[in-house]
Structure 1
Amino acid sequence: MAENSKKMSVTQLTIITAVNMMGSGIVMLPSKLASVGTMSILSWLVTLTGALCLAYGFARCGMFSKNTKEGMGGYAEYSFGKDGNFMANFTYALSLVIANVAIGVSAVGYGSVLLDIKLSPVSTALWTIALIIITTVANFWGASVTGKIGSITVWGVILPVLFISVFGWFWFHGHLYASAWNVHDVSLFKGVSASIPITLWSFLGLESASANSDAVENPQKNVPIAVLVGTIAAGVIYILSTNVMQGIVPNAAIAKSNAPFGLAYATMLGPVWGKICMALMTIACIGSLLGWQFTVAEVFRSSAVAGYFPKVFNKVTKREAPVVGMIILMVVQCLLSLMTISPNLNEQFNNLVNLAVVTNLVPYVLCMAVAKTIQIDAGVKAGDRGYTMTNVITVIAGIYSLYSMYACGNLALAMGSLVAFAGWTIYGLISYKFDYKAM
């Protein structure tokens, strides 16, 4: 009893799961959706279904895998060996690096509107680089402070999003929403596909929900419940907040905005509240970036410990901060900021999101493919509870992941393919470390 009293309830794990997903990923989301039109609600339904299948698959992998401490790489190893473990870690780590730049661009977008500064593409990149450097250096003294800051600043996104989801309907105009259904007169398939990447972007991180299985009561029953309910809760809030906004503000204005939530609050409650919303979301993005800089460095450090990445990423200071790795990743993020310069901030953000989603989907595909093997290894057989359902759901999740890759567009697919081929090249150079035997 004493041990169980220290563990989380299913309600607590559900809340943590939902809050973990509702980070800074949503702040620029309405602008991209507005460029498609209100038909993007169909993309939400497709993505929510796919996200639920992925979440359930990860929950089952987490329950039965013996390699839970190695994350998605540990799952992938069941069917794909050390090669799969490496590729899952490699592509996931790079996707986080790319995502960090996208978060930085979001913060710059909201900050520029808040301070009424008109930024050129080069200025946007330079301010993003400045933010990347500041948040990296701030982590040199360890994760304890930045972790606490992040747990507070995340509410700068959650509270405005929750408020508009519930109370925004008082300012909602049905004719405004209906008139923006298909702004570019495209086919249903093309319209839905166009907004799949950005809707999936808001759910990235759902794989981390199953990592708390050891800390919850009755994990076999409660982890899937918490993961699924938490994903549904986040999805409902995403759908409500982004769709109510399109009935409050004209579609064209949202599509051009670098701070869409701030624009919606200014329309509903006046300019002052618009500024407050922008300030909260700017702070939330900076806090999120602060935390992710340390997290990304830790992902690279743990992979270096496993022998996948160079040992330089494993070096830590007296405060347990992988400073050398942080500096290397900071340089990479700065280069990415320069490489993705676009005519406007929204386009730069979209390019980064598409590439981050493609690279993040590689480990998703690998993990969904091994769910059957993980169950069999754990002694779960055909006819056992959940066995067949898990296999069916993970196949659907795998198909959805492949479709999402396609929806990210040719450029992101080409770049993602180069990342994957580069990964295999690198693994070939280090594979002698892992169970290699001469023929």
Structure 2
Amino acid sequence: MVAGDRRLGLVAAMALVVGNMIGSGVFLLPASLAPFGWNAVAGWIATTAGAMVLAWVLVGLTRAVPEAGGPPGFVSTAFGDTAGFFVSWIYLVSIWTTVATIAVAAVSYLSNMIPALSAEAFRPALAAMALVWVLALLNGRGLRAAGNFQVVTVAIKIIPLVVVIAIAAVLLAGGMAQVMPVDAVPVTPGSVNAAATLTLWALVGFESASIAARRVRDPAVNVARATLWGTALTGVLYLLVCSAIALLLPMDVAAASPAPFATFVERYWNPTAAAFVTIFAVVSCVGALNGWTLLQSEMARDMAERGLLPRWFAATDARGTPQRALLVSTVIASVFVLMNASRSMQALFEYLLLLSTSASLWLYLACALAAWHLRVSRPLAAMGAAYAAWTLWGAGIGASGLSFILMALGLPVWLWTRSRNARAALP
């Protein structure tokens, strides 16, 4: 899988893609999507189609400009380093918020087994912050340790997804459960858009192999396969599993559950199995947290190597781990958790989810525009740009506006970096 602790093979690259997507979303989103009814199903279909279009755009760019090294490099190639910096910066911010979001989701499921974790307002945030640091320590051991952990957790997390699909199939075949009527919640374009924005969180991460392309063996082949296969597999699983939970559970039960996946299994199977699902959910979240922790350090190092951050962040240890980038990123992710510690667990999850998603969308939009500018897969690039803009609108002015402000706040960092680079270039 890994050569000299420095390279990921196809299995590990696909595990990075699937593992980063199948994390907290499949286990917590049914509660957020339950009030949308069949709008959520339409949202899943739109999101999966949009993600596949964007995945094809990234694959086309990887083949057309392999020297760019990944999505931020595609933007720099098309529009220059300044545009490349701001898109890279907001994506790095999105990774920090994603790390925070997944840690909160893991604690939400842990609280199902350990109620004391959610007994007071600040406890979930403190527990999430502790989990962030545990995974940072694991990644500090090197790429081999993080890669092996990712493969194992992906294998484990798929088990409960298959279980839910099997339960739903038995229920529907035997007429033992009633699907929510289509007219229970009116299907409207606005509701589909809002649902699609929430569902996109579950597919954020399809770009993971492309972001880590420099750490993947034979990236021209393996990044393309990992991206397309991983996105398609995850999209189908999500559509089946989340739709089953949201449409078969009573709406009020699903919407009020802190662990809707476990609630579904307990209601239609038994409490013992539900307890095991909770364990699987925690493993799934921890596995995704591991993958995003790897990406946050790799992203910062890649920016430093391309001159978009000070070279200080590019330093690595004997195992090739960018310890400085990992340390700073983990501190910032912890700050995002603590900044919103007063929110309830579900509210904290949904707020960070929308912020992470809208922040990622700026990268997707920029890559689609870069593909159009570079004359790469232009029909798909146009579709991808339209989809990204549509979903940014669906995220709402609060989340999308804040993500834009966070992108603009990178200006002092960019000016500082350019100043350092200019001084370093002087004889």
2:180 aligned counterpart, secondary structure: helix
Is residue 412 of structure 2 the alignment partner of residue 413 of structure 1?
no
1:177, 1:246 within 8 Å by CA — same for their partners in 2?
Answer: no
Is residue 300 of structure 2 the alignment partner of residue 308 of structure 1?
no
1:106-131 C-alpha deviation (Å, 9 max, x unpaired): 10011111234443331111111121
Deviates more, 1:317-326 or 1:84-93: 317-326
Matches within 5 A, 1:74-153: 74-117=73-116, 118-153=118-153
1:316 aligned counterpart, secondary structure: coil
**How far is the alpha carbon of 1:13 from its aligned partner?**
8.7
One-letter amino acid of the structure 2 residue matched with residue 403 of structure 1: W
**How far is the alpha carbon of 1:355 from its aligned partner?**
0.8
One-letter amino acid of the structure 2 residue matched with residue 345 of structure 1: M
Alignment correspondent of 2:71: 72
- In structure 2, the CA distance between the partners of 1:122 and 1:218, relative to structure 1 (3 Å rule), is closer
Distance 2:224 2:330 in 1: 36
Alignment correspondent of 2:272: 272
Is residue 279 of structure 2 the alignment partner of residue 292 of structure 1?
no
2:177, 2:248 within 8 Å by CA — same for their partners in 1?
Answer: no
- In structure 2, the CA distance between the partners of 1:136 and 1:225, relative to structure 1 (3 Å rule), is closer
Distance 1:137 1:79 in 2: 37
**How far is the alpha carbon of 1:215 from its aligned partner?**
5.8
- In structure 2, the CA distance between the partners of 1:16 and 1:47, relative to structure 1 (3 Å rule), is same
2:206, 2:231 within 8 Å by CA — same for their partners in 1?
Answer: yes
Alignment correspondent of 2:4: none
Alignment correspondent of 1:171: 171
Deviates more, 1:151-160 or 1:105-114: 151-160
Deviates more, 1:13-22 or 1:313-322: 13-22
Matches within 5 A, 1:353-372: 353-372=353-372
Distance 1:91 1:16 in 2: 21
Distance 2:13 2:311 in 1: 35
2:310, 2:417 within 8 Å by CA — same for their partners in 1?
Answer: no
- In structure 2, the CA distance between the partners of 1:349 and 1:218, relative to structure 1 (3 Å rule), is closer
1:28, 1:260 within 8 Å by CA — same for their partners in 2?
Answer: yes
**How far is the alpha carbon of 1:54 from its aligned partner?**
0.7
2:100, 2:128 within 8 Å by CA — same for their partners in 1?
Answer: yes
Matches within 5 A, 1:180-195: 182-183=184-185, 188-195=188-195
1:65, 1:374 within 8 Å by CA — same for their partners in 2?
Answer: no
Task: State the number of aligned residues.
Answer: 411
1:255 aligned counterpart, secondary structure: helix
Alignment TM-score, normalising by the size of structure 1:
0.83
- In structure 2, the CA distance between the partners of 1:234 and 1:88, relative to structure 1 (3 Å rule), is same
**How far is the alpha carbon of 1:66 from its aligned partner?**
3.9
- In structure 2, the CA distance between the partners of 1:314 and 1:288, relative to structure 1 (3 Å rule), is same
1:289 aligned counterpart, secondary structure: helix
Match of 1:395 among 382, 399, 408: 382
Matches within 5 A, 1:315-394: 315-341=315-341, 343-375=343-375, 390-394=377-381
Is residue 222 of structure 2 the alignment partner of residue 235 of structure 1?
no
1:155, 1:284 within 8 Å by CA — same for their partners in 2?
Answer: no
- In structure 2, the CA distance between the partners of 1:18 and 1:295, relative to structure 1 (3 Å rule), is closer
Distance 1:167 1:16 in 2: 28
**How far is the alpha carbon of 1:83 from its aligned partner?**
1.1
**How far is the alpha carbon of 1:344 from its aligned partner?**
2.3
One-letter amino acid of the structure 2 residue matched with residue 72 of structure 1: P
Deviates more, 1:238-247 or 1:323-332: 323-332
2:406 aligned counterpart, secondary structure: helix
- Identity rate of aligned residues, in percent? 24
Distance 1:326 1:8 in 2: 22
1:171, 1:248 within 8 Å by CA — same for their partners in 2?
Answer: no
- In structure 2, the CA distance between the partners of 1:53 and 1:326, relative to structure 1 (3 Å rule), is same
Distance 1:174 1:49 in 2: 32
- In structure 2, the CA distance between the partners of 1:68 and 1:306, relative to structure 1 (3 Å rule), is closer
Alignment correspondent of 1:383: none
1:356 aligned counterpart, secondary structure: helix
One-letter amino acid of the structure 1 residue matched with residue 413 of structure 2: I
Gaps of 5+ in 2: 1-7
Is residue 400 of structure 2 the alignment partner of residue 422 of structure 1?
no
Alignment correspondent of 1:161: 161
- In structure 2, the CA distance between the partners of 1:414 and 1:174, relative to structure 1 (3 Å rule), is farther
- In structure 2, the CA distance between the partners of 1:207 and 1:328, relative to structure 1 (3 Å rule), is closer
- In structure 2, the CA distance between the partners of 1:314 and 1:145, relative to structure 1 (3 Å rule), is same
1:395-422 C-alpha deviation (Å, 9 max, x unpaired): 1110110111111112112211111211
1:96, 1:356 within 8 Å by CA — same for their partners in 2?
Answer: yes
Alignment TM-score, normalising by the size of structure 2:
0.85
1:306-335 C-alpha deviation (Å, 9 max, x unpaired): 222234423333443333333322221222
**How far is the alpha carbon of 1:87 from its aligned partner?**
1.9
Distance 1:373 1:190 in 2: 31
Distance 1:328 1:322 in 2: 10
Distance 2:88 2:94 in 1: 10
**How far is the alpha carbon of 1:246 from its aligned partner?**
2.7
- In structure 2, the CA distance between the partners of 1:299 and 1:270, relative to structure 1 (3 Å rule), is same
Distance 1:99 1:290 in 2: 11
Gaps of 5+ in 1: 1-6, 376-386
Distance 1:15 1:151 in 2: 5
**How far is the alpha carbon of 1:159 from its aligned partner?**
1.5
Superposition RMSD on alpha carbons, in Å? 3.2
**How far is the alpha carbon of 1:266 from its aligned partner?**
1.3
